Amino acid sequence: MVMVPWEKLYEPQYTDLVSILVQRLRPRAQPIDGSGGDGGRDIVEYTDDNELIIYELKSFTGRLTPSRRRKVGDSLLNAARHQPEAWDLIVPIRPTASETAWFEGLRADFPFVRQFCGMDWLNSHLAQHDDLVRAAIQNDDGYFLERINDMRAEKDLMLDGVPGLRDRYEALMRRGDELSPYYRFDVSRTSEGVMTTVRLKDEHIVPEEPIQLRFAIAEDTPDGPAVTDQLKRALRFGQDLVIKGENLAEFAITAPADLGLSENAKPNLLTMTPNRVGIDPPTEALLVVENTAGLPLASISLHFKERAQGITGFTAYGADPADVLRVQLRVDPQVGEMDVRINPPAGLMTPAMALPGLRVMARARAGTTLRLDTVIRDQHTPLRSVLAQDAQTDNFRAWVEVIADLEELQRRTGTSFPLPADLTENDATAIHDCLRLMRGENISIGQGPVRVGPVAGAKATEAFLEAEPPFSFAAVRDVTLVLSTWNVPLGPCADYLVATSVLNREEAAEKAAAGEPFTVELQVEGDGHVWRVRQDPQSTPPDGAPEAT
């Protein structure tokens, strides 16, 4: 740990260092600009109960001489005019017994005197904030010798493998945190290269030298006016925005020289992302699609968990429980708007999870109204937006119907699995036909009607050799719907068929008379397929039903 050389600090350095420290320890604390006189208040804090706490900063080192005690007394007298609840003295001195007794004696006239925050108090807290120490001792030789050793270590071969990589990365992040008392720097590796993220360490502390971004939109480009409107909207509501470099007329970043961030070259893309803060607890809402008569067609619950503040309004970010619908709610004192976006259902999402959000979007047709019922700023404010065009295409709505069929089929069969990622039109037809079977309907598959359920009283195979076409018969089989890697068992199905002729009557009759296995080939009415029925005289199928192949 590097100690602060208090005796070497000028008074402005000391004031800046301790002011930032107190603000980190007490987020409500605010320094007072003393250029016009601070009235005995270097730093003030108002508690939750609106009680005033005053922090007095003195850069004295050594001993509290009589003249220094008088200066403290004068500051205390000025602070008393503001009727504080508490008053603390912060000074880099380790007090003697007599100095401690003097300080405690101040309470006789000023009962709000609370704490003497001396050198030990300062050092113990600054030990947790190396970046503040660096800012205070930029010219300290011992500090930089330590950092030079760190830099030499970075140039060594990484003989200790991954643990060495991790340790050095953590060391660099600690060093990076010391670059500025105001900013934090996070470095990450992306597919596009190394990305550096700059954040304020404490949002309520205003940097003396802020990082500033200045740019101008090139209005003479084809997209210039539209980009300007998008920028105004993004700043107004606190929304994301991406600007292409070709639409920038000017670009410059100014920052403290030590950070090395100043830049004048235009980027290929300028991405603006507002700071989102959590909403705790989340705001609940209901999204409703209404027809032209005001009747609800579909609805879904939403929860808003984040918001971003703009210049005059804010944007709240919400989603349904399955994260299929994502809603951006833009609000300012005069205007409320909605932007509803849909995400492709996740690979592990079941049809039952995806359907509520998908149905809302399918019902959102031109002329319908999206209504959002929520509580914003303690006011129940329904927001309405009439759609000028369909939210989705006919193909999307057809896709939603397929997912609805799959959800019902899974519910009826008791088989549940995620949405297949590669549903085809043939799959959609098969799902719909199977669902009709489960409802007790008949469907045609090119060979005649098919119906779910056992078939009783089927003829023995020999009967096919004696019957004169055309004649009807039934074949029973278990049917399984295969979707991607998932199997959905539907149970036994009966194919009701009409045979128009027996193609191998004589050959089959000879084998039957000799007691040999035989196959009867039947021409089936419909698409011309041959239906094969095989019978082994040595075995009897259950209930006398023929085996269909």
Instruction: Kindly tell me if the per-residue pLDDT of 241 is higher than 60.
Output: yes
* Pairing between β-strand 52-57 and β-strand 86-90 as defined by DSSP bridges: parallel
Among 68-72, 397-401, 442-446, 449-453, the range scoring the smallest mean pLDDT is 449-453
Q: How confident is the model at residue 231 (pLDDT cuts 50, 70, 90)?
A: very high
Among 137-151, 316-330, 424-438, 497-511, the range scoring the smallest mean pLDDT is 137-151
pLDDT exceeding 70 applies to what percent of the chain?
82
The predicted structure's pLDDT at residue 543: 40
pLDDT exceeding 90 applies to what percent of the chain?
26
Among 119-128, 240-249, 298-307, 367-376, the range scoring the smallest mean pLDDT is 367-376
Instruction: Kindly tell me if the per-residue pLDDT of 210 is higher than 90.
Output: no
The predicted structure's pLDDT at residue 454: 38
Reported as a single tens digit per residue, the pLDDT across 429-462 is: 888 888 888 887 777 665 555 454 433 333 456 7
The predicted structure's pLDDT at residue 375: 62
More confident of the two residues 444 and 423? 423
Average pLDDT over residues 498-524: 82
Q: 121 is written with which tokens? A: 């108090």
Beta strand residue intervals within 400-529, DSSP E: 443-444, 449-452, 471-483, 486-502, 518-524
The predicted structure's pLDDT at residue 113: 94
More confident of the two residues 113 and 133? 113
More confident of the two residues 242 and 190? 242
Instruction: Kindly tell me if the per-residue pLDDT of 228 is higher than 90.
Output: yes
Residue 110 DSSP symbol:
-
The predicted structure's pLDDT at residue 137: 62
The predicted structure's pLDDT at residue 40: 59
Reported as a single tens digit per residue, the pLDDT across 454-484 is: 333 334 567 777 888 888 877 777 778 888 7
Among 130-144, 179-193, 215-229, 333-347, the range scoring the smallest mean pLDDT is 130-144
Instruction: Kindly tell me if the per-residue pLDDT of 203 is higher than 50.
Output: yes
Helix, strand, coil content of the chain in percent (nearest 5): 30, 30, 35
What contacts 334, CB < 8 A, 6 or more positions away? none
Instruction: Kindly tell me if the per-residue pLDDT of 528 is higher than 80.
Output: no
Radius of gyration over every alpha carbon of the chain, rounded to an integer in angstroms: 40
More confident of the two residues 359 and 374? 359
Reported as a single tens digit per residue, the pLDDT across 324-340 is: 888 888 887 666 667 77
| Rounded Cα–Cα distance for residues 436 and 422 (Å) | 22
In the chain, count H helices and then E strands.
Answer: 13, 26
Full-model pTM: 0.56
Average pLDDT over residues 269-274: 87
The predicted structure's pLDDT at residue 92: 94
The predicted structure's pLDDT at residue 168: 75
Instruction: Kindly tell me if the per-residue pLDDT of 95 is higher than 90.
Output: yes
The predicted structure's pLDDT at residue 307: 92
CA distances from 510 to 155, 181, 530 (A): 93, 101, 21
Average pLDDT, the chain: 80
The predicted structure's pLDDT at residue 56: 94
The answer to whether 532 touches 548, Cβ cutoff 8 Å, is yes
| Rounded Cα–Cα distance for residues 309 and 335 (Å) | 15
The answer to whether 304 touches 317, Cβ cutoff 8 Å, is yes
Instruction: Kindly tell me if the per-residue pLDDT of 109 is higher than 70.
Output: yes
The predicted structure's pLDDT at residue 30: 87
Instruction: Kindly tell me if the per-residue pLDDT of 312 is higher than 60.
Output: yes
The predicted structure's pLDDT at residue 159: 56
Q: Which domains does the chain have, with CATH numbers?
A: 6-136 (3.40.1350), 212-272 (no CATH), 278-396 (no CATH), 441-548 (no CATH)
The predicted structure's pLDDT at residue 193: 72
Closest CA to 200 of 26, 42, 15, 20: 20
Residue 495 phi, psi dihedral angles, 5° rounding: -95, 115
Q: How confident is the model at residue 226 (pLDDT cuts 50, 70, 90)?
A: very high
More confident of the two residues 181 and 226? 226
